[in-house]
Structure 1
Amino acid sequence: MSGRKETVLDLAKFVNKGVQVKLDGGRQVTGTLKGYDHLLNLVLDEAIEFLRDPDDPLKTTDQTRRLGLIVCRGTAVMLVSGSDGTAEIANPFVQPDGA
């Protein structure tokens, strides 16, 4: 064993593919993963940020803004997932109104 820490997340399979990244503070971006390092710093190309709801900063809206080529600092990365094959589903735990 080399004693070197290795990341649990294997990002090699996402290089040059679309990813969704959730960042500390509620920001969410999508883009093409161009590179990463062992500290989980990510380089995203053609990045798009989903703007947050001004009334509830933890919710995102359908409004977006184009960011282009960005670096996401590893200390701010909370979640990385592939954007291919994902879909939003209704929350099964939300009670219908009037119940």
Structure 2
Amino acid sequence: MSGRKETVLDLAKFVDKGVQVKLTGGRQVTGTLKGYDQLLNLVLDEAIEFLRDPDDPLKTTDQTRRLGLIVCRGTAVMLVSPTDGTDEIANPFLQPEGA
């Protein structure tokens, strides 16, 4: 065993591509991944934050805020997903009404 820790994610394939990042506390940001390190600190360019609904802080709205070049601290990153190639699908576990 080498004493070096490997990350579970292979972010190299996402460099210079659009990613969506969810952070602890409910913030959601999209941008172009420019760099990362073994602690999952991310550098995003042309970052845009999706603002949350004031009535329900768990939901995001269509309102956005341009952030530019940002660093997302690895301890706050919960989810990283590509923006291209993802579609929202119907919940396969939802029981049909009347069943």
Q: Does the TM-score normalized on the shorter chain lie above 0.5? A: yes
**TM-aligned CA distance change 1:84 to 1:72, over 3 Å:** same
Give per-residue Cα distances to partners, 1:63-90, cap 9 Å, x unaligned.
Answer: 1111000000000000001111112234
**TM-aligned CA distance change 1:34 to 1:57, over 3 Å:** same
Q: Does 1:4 align with 2:4?
A: yes
Identity %: 92
CA distance in 1, matches of 2:34, 2:9: 16
SS of residue in 1 equivalent to 2:75 = helix
Give per-residue Cα distances to partners, 1:12-41, cap 9 Å, x unaligned.
Answer: 000000000000011100000000000000
Question: Which residue of structure 1 lines up, in the alignment, with residue 79 of structure 2?
Answer: 79
CA distance in 2, matches of 1:72, 1:57: 20
**TM-aligned CA distance change 1:15 to 1:3, over 3 Å:** same
The answer for unaligned runs of 5 or more in structure 1 is: none
CA distance in 1, matches of 2:64, 2:97: 30
CA distance in 1, matches of 2:9, 2:31: 18
In the alignment of these two chains, the number of paired residues is 99
**TM-aligned CA distance change 1:93 to 1:61, over 3 Å:** farther
**TM-aligned CA distance change 1:26 to 1:10, over 3 Å:** same
Question: Which residue of structure 2 lines up, in the alignment, with residue 88 of structure 1?
Answer: 88
CA distance in 2, matches of 1:63, 1:79: 21
The answer for unaligned runs of 5 or more in structure 2 is: none
